[in-house]
Amino acid sequence: MKGHSIAVWAGLTAFFTNLAAIVAVDIIGSDMTTKAVGVLVTSCIVGATVYCKQRWDDAKEAQQ
Positions of the chain with pLDDT under 70: 1-3, 25-31
Residue 29 has a pLDDT of 64
Residue 2 has a pLDDT of 60
**DSSP secondary structure of the chain:** -HHHHHHHHHHHHHHHHHHHHHHHHHTT-S-HHHHHHHHHHHHHHHHHHHHHHHHHHHHHHHH-
Question: How many distinct structural domains can be found in the chain?
Answer: 1
Residue 10 has a pLDDT of 78
Residue 58 has a pLDDT of 82
- Count how many Cα atoms sit within 13 Å of the Cα of residue 20 in the half-sphere of its side chain: 6
Residue 30 has a pLDDT of 59
Q: Which domain holds residue 23?
A: 2-63
Residue 46 has a pLDDT of 82
| pTM for this predicted structure | 0.62
